[in-house]
C-alpha cells in the first residue's frame, strides 16, 4: 500500500500520460475518470469497460484511496460533520452544509495547521502533514457517495492553510473542476487564506475563476498580530498590496472574513478603520460571529454589535453580510474543527 500511487492524484491530462506510459491508449484515462468521478465506483474491478489485464495492472500499482467514515455527526440544521480515516493512521474532518442554493462541502487541506491563529480550534494541535491532492478530492467523493447526491460548492475552509499546501490544492482544483469528472465550476470553489502574501500573488497569476477569501479579522498590525501570528511575517500593508494585485489581475471581488470578538475588534472605531482600509476595493466583507473555543479568550460579540458593525459598513460603501452559523451544535461551525481523537497510531 505504502508505495502505491493514488489514482485520485491525477488530473485528466496527467492520467492520459500515465496510461500512455503503461502502454495503453489515452482514451482509457477518460473512461477511468468517468468511473471515478461520475459513477463513483470504489473498486477497479467495477470498471467493466477496461480489459481484465488493465484492471489487474491498475490494482497492482494504484490505490483508490477510499476513505472510511470513522464518525458522522448530524446537526439539527442538517449540517453533517465527517471524521475520515485517511488510511495512514491519521484522520481529518470534512463538513457538509445544506443551503437553499445547494450543498457545500468545507474541505480540510492539511492534517493540523501551522498558522496558530489564537481564536481557531486547530491551534495547539500538532501539525502532521499536508494532504495530497487525491486526499482533498476524496473528501468530496466520500461525502457524495455517502449522501447519494451532488455537491454544488466547495470551500477550502476546513483544517489547514490551503496556501501552505499550494500545489496540491491547485491540483485538486483541476480534478474537481474537470467537466468530465466532478464538474464543479471554479466559480463554485472558494479558497480562504490567513494571508500568505507570496501565494496570493501566485494565485492571482493563475487567473482562475475561484473566489479568494482573506481572513483579515483586524485593521491594525498590533491587533492582527495578537490574533494571527502570520501578521508578523506579512503585515496588513503587504497583505493589502497583494489583494490589490489580485483584483487588478483577475477583476474578481475578494471576500474579507472578519470574525467579531467581543471588546476586541467589534466597536465602531474598528468598523471605521475597516472602511478606510477597504474603501474603493472590489470586495465584500463576511462578518463571522466568533465561535468561542475551549480555553479561548475571545467570545462572541452581541447581536446588537454585530448588526451595528454590519450596518456601519453598508452605510459607508462596503458591502457586508453576516455569515449564518451552521452546525454549531456539533462543533462544525467556523473554526471549530479540531483533530479530536484523530491519531489512531
Residues making contact with ligand SAH (CB under 6 A) = 115, 117, 119-120, 157, 161, 192-194, 215, 257, 259, 288, 290-291, 293, 334-335
In angstroms, what is the minimal distance from the CB of 36 to ligand SAH?
A: 27
CA quadruple 302, 307, 313, 319: dihedral sign:
positive
Cell 500573488 identifies what position?
Answer: 201
In angstroms, what is the minimal distance from the CB of 10 to ligand SAH?
A: 26
Nine-digit cell at 51?
Answer: 480489459
CA quadruple 311, 278, 252, 291: dihedral sign:
negative
Output 63 or 336, the one with its CB closest to ligand SAH.
336
| Rounded Cα distance, 155 and 158, in Å | 8
**What is the DSSP code (8-state) at residue 92?**
E
| Rounded Cα distance, 198 and 230, in Å | 12
Question: How many angstroms separate the Cα of 34 from the Cα of each of 25, 179, 282?
Answer: 16, 10, 38
Catalytic positions: 93, 334
In angstroms, what is the minimal distance from the CB of 322 to ligand SAH?
A: 12
Output 18 or 257, the one with its CB closest to ligand SAH.
257
Nearest to 236 by CA among 252, 254, 256, 216: 216
Output 11 or 193, the one with its CB closest to ligand SAH.
193
Question: Nearest to ligand SAH by Cβ — which residue?
Answer: 335
Nearest to 58 by CA among 105, 22, 33, 34: 22
In angstroms, what is the minimal distance from the CB of 166 to ligand SAH?
A: 12
Output 24 or 93, the one with its CB closest to ligand SAH.
93
Amino acid at each position: 500500500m505504502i508505495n502505491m500511487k493514488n489514482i485520485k492524484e491525477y488530473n485528466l491530462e496527467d492520467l492520459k500520460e500515465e496510461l500512455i506510459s503503461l502502454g495503453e491508449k489515452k482514451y482509457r484515462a477518460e473512461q477511468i475518470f468517468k468511473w471515478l468521478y461520475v459513477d463513483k465506483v470504489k473498486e477497479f474491478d467495477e470498471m467493466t469497460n477496461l480489459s481484465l489485464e488493465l484492471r489487474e495492472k491498475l490494482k497492482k500499482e494504484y490505490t483508490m484511496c477510499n476513505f472510511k467514515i470513522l464518525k458522522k455527526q448530524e446537526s439539527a440544521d442538517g449540517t453533517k460533520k465527517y471524521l475520515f480515516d485517511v488510511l495512514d493512521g491519521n484522520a481529518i474532518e470534512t463538513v457538509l452544509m445544506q443551503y437553499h442554493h445547494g450543498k457545500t462541502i468545507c474541505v480540510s487541506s492539511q492534517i493540523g495547521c501551522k498558522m496558530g491563529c489564537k481564536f481557531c480550534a486547530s491551534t495547539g494541535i500538532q501539525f502532521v502533514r499536508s494532504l495530497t491532492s487525491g486526499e482533498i478530492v476524496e473528501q468530496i467523493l466520500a461525502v457524495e457517495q455517502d449522501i447519494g447526491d451532488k455537491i454544488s460548492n466547495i470551500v477550502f475552509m476546513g483544517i489547514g492553510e490551503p496556501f501552505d499546501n499550494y500545489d496540491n490544492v491547485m491540483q485538486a482544483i483541476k480534478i474537481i473542476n474537470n467537466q468530465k469528472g466532478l464538474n464543479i465550476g471554479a466559480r463554485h470553489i472558494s479558497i480562504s487564506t490567513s494571508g500568505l502574501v507570496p501565494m496570493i500573488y501566485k494565485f492571482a497569476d493563475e487567473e482562475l475563476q475561484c473566489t479568494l477569501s482573506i481572513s483579515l479579522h483586524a485593521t491594525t498590525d498590533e491587533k492582527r498580530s495578537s490574533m494571527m501570528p502570520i501578521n508578523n511575517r506579512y503585515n496588513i500593508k503587504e497583505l493589502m498590496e497583494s489583494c490589490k494585485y489580485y483584483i487588478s489581475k483577475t477583476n474578481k471581488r475578494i471576500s474579507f472574513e472578519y470574525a467579531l470578538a467581543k471588546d476586541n475588534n467589534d466597536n465602531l472605531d474598528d468598523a471605521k478603520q475597516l472602511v478606510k482600509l477597504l474603501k474603493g476595493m472590489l470586495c465584500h466583507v463576511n462578518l463571522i460571529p466568533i465561535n468561542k473555543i475551549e480555553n479561548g479568550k475571545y467570545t462572541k460579540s452581541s447581536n446588537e454589535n454585530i448588526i451595528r458593525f454590519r450596518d456601519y459598513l453598508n452605510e459607508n460603501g462596503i458591502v457586508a453580510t453576516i455569515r449564518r452559523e451552521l452546525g454549531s451544535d456539533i462543533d462544525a461551525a467556523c473554526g471549530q474543527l479540531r483533530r479530536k481523537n484523530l491519531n489512531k497510531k
